[in-house]
A and B are shown apart, each in its own frame.
Chain A
């Protein structure tokens, strides 16, 4: 398996909902990343996990909560989001922090 997969592809949620995004890779990569991408903008880093430990949090609001249950899986738990959080959420992975990052297809999130 040479890809990063993400589920769901699309998600619509209300501001009071709790939902989770899932990212999976089976390439043996030890670094995993969450990015947020707004239309016509570059990906914006949110979190980095290196060897299953959170190594970077780019001052992301606490309504976004990352989790790395094991080396293949990365979750992003969402709670009490705002409409401006609507975006494409991309997961990426790399062999470790010294290597190129490969992106998943993303989850298109709409907050109503």
Chain B
């Protein structure tokens, strides 16, 4: 089955700086890679996703890049703000098998 590794497990960034979280996956058949943000006591919230036919996707301050050859994908947050503080989970799936495999999570703290 799929295995997703995520690094780092914790990340502290000065407000206004950029944050990068990296994930690798094992199953070359995986074709969909979402990122979820989970604030304390709240639901995981989909913030951005990318499909395997695309190398990069941006949405305002958030971007995701995908390298299919190396089987890794990354989340980039620019101009970080205190409200970006949360746990971020990457995930991977092959839509044919319905199961979303999550990474272990990154606790991002934005220092004011």
Contacts and interface: CB of A to CB of B under 8 A. Distances in A.
Interface of A: 31, 40-43, 45, 48, 50, 55-56, 58, 90, 97-98, 100-106
Contacts of B89: 42-43
A58 B33 CA distance: 21
Interface residues of B, number: 19
Interface of B: 32, 34, 36, 42-46, 49, 89, 95-96, 98-100, 102-105
Contacts of A104: 43
B107 to A, nearest CB: 8
Contacts of B42: 105
Contacts of A42: 89, 102-105
Chain A, interface SS category: loop
A56 B95 CA distance: 14
Contacts of B43: 90, 103-106
Contacts of B45: 103
Contacts of B32: 100
A76 B71 CA distance: 36
Nearest to B96: A97
A87 B26 CA distance: 28
Contact of B99 (A48, A98, A103, A105): A48
A24 to B, nearest CB: 14
A56 B96 CA distance: 12
Contacts of B100: 45, 101
A90 B46 CA distance: 14
Contact of B98 (A40, A43, A50, A105): A50
A105 B42 CA distance: 6
Contacts of B105: 40-42
A88 B96 CA distance: 27
B103 A98 contact: no
Contacts of B49: 100
Contact of A100 (B46, B102, B104): B46
A31 B98 CA distance: 9
